[in-house]
Structure 1
Amino acid sequence: MDTGNETSSTDFILLGLFPGMRHIGILVSIILLIYTIALTGNATLIFLIWVDPHLHTSMYFLLSQLSLIDLAFISSTVPKMAVNFFSGKKKISLIGCGTQIFFTLSLGIAECILLTLMAYDRYVAICHPLKYPIIVSPRVSQQMAIGSWVAGALASLVHTTYSMHFPLCGPRELHHFFCEVKAILKLSCEDISAYEKGVVVTSIIVVLLPVSLILTSYTLIFLAVLQMNSPEGRNKALATCSSHLTVVTFYYGPAMMIYMRPGSSHTPILNQALFMFDTILTPMMNPLIYSLRNREVVSALRKVLKRCLISK
């Protein structure tokens, strides 16, 4: 394709959620409600972990980092989408698009790594309980969190820089509600097959490898749980693990469908639906899953509410 057809404007056009769909305003309103619930749920969970001394453990520290990532993750897409919809403007600048790609990739990769480390944390706690305070000390858990953030940012920086340097041809219309790497690459004037292979390799490292490690951790956990003599201990271990496994399923399921499907099956509508689940629904569900199924979190919430009522 002739690179002379490259567009002169540097702005992109975000076509938004399911272009042509009737009553799209209702869907946007529902997403804003989900956004509000996600902000409230994750902020509340972070606050409870911060104020309750019983939750000052490595497991809950990592959980607070997951909530922080989810807060940033959903905030990197929904506000801009809502502003574009209500203002009627669909443009996003080149810098704004690159920034959105960087943050969504950073946070998505960081969440993949953190969920894997949380599975390892549960493995050590259940299979090696006496060594747990040493192996997963507060300092180690902090290093886990920092490593997740840094690794996500570095991997995202590479992909954002490389994907944004390709010359683009024709109208810069993105069939998406936010700037996403694969949507940008579809507009490229150059042969991007080599880079697409790099994306596949990264997907394997970021998605398949963590899933393999998580499955390995939980296989060892379930074998250890089956050998427990105490029904109470067994139920507590299974309750903690089931919450994490549910979150992993909700997050990795759509992610694997997004990045592991053949290119011929990548339709804009299906991609948007999968990204909505991963970047909007999952951040809302995570704090609900962990709070409703965790006695310690529910107990901490009751204490805070009781203090508020007494102070009034």
Structure 2
Amino acid sequence: MKIEIQNTSKTYLNGKKALMDANITLEPGVYALFGENGAGKSTLMKILAGLLKPSTGKILVDGQEMSPLADAYREKIGYLPQDTPIYSNFTAAKFLSYLATVKGVPKQDVQTSVMSALEAVNMTEHANKKLKSFSGGMKRRIGIAQLLLNDPELLIIDEPTAGLDPKERIHFRNLIASIARKRIVLLSTHIVSDVGSIAREIILMKQGRIIKQANPYELLDEIATEIWTVDVTDQELLELQDTYQIGSIQQTRQGKNRVRIISSQMPHPKAAQDEPQLEDLYLYHLDGRGKSA
């Protein structure tokens, strides 16, 4: 499956331009959508999910134009919002059986679809347990399972790791990587480290526009000479914060501050260049003080 979003914009009735001239090509793999609140991520995802009609532009599926509101298009996608409603008194199997029926899965195939979806998210042994007993990570896995019931080719997931502990986030990342082998997975997150390592491409959005779309390593190479670290005193730290874009601050055993700085020039006589990370990429392009501001 190949999806092309061409010159797509969305202007709401109040005149707010939430999305402007978006152009994206999506093929099987994971695409990580990064951007601050209000950047247009949710609008883009809802258009792709068939929940919003774009003001301008078109969507091509395998080269043919298709309305995101058409049933033939919706059959190809699965959408998981950040807050997914569940029926707490249902067992996992009963909940998924209900949703399979709603999605139009033939009655004779419901049981097979449910068990296949549970197996895909490693939840088979919990099939007959009530959802109210599940942890946050388990509930998110059930959310993914319901997406798979009708075997969609495009999965759209909003903030998949929100509220999960570190261990659950690792499990979730591995799950996404496994189901993306033959599907397109577009997900939005503020925790860049959770998905950057499995993303085929990263899409950066700012103020309703897509400002970058490329392989993570290509994007990191672009800022390879912009990242510095240095150990400084509290007073030096204050001075650096007034002048430079600070990525992170850690306390050293010697009582100093190990500061990560984003700068095109050496920010301190003792600063050394460091390997760029995805968090640096996010700040460089999307933070108010970055070059893309």
Query: TM tier, shorter chain?
Result: under 0.3
TM-score by length of 2: 0.23
With a CA cutoff of 8 Å and minimum separation of 6, indicate the structure with the bigger relative contact order: 1
Q: Give the structure with the larger helix fraction.
A: 1
TM-score by length of 1: 0.22
Q: Give the structure with the larger strand fraction.
A: 2
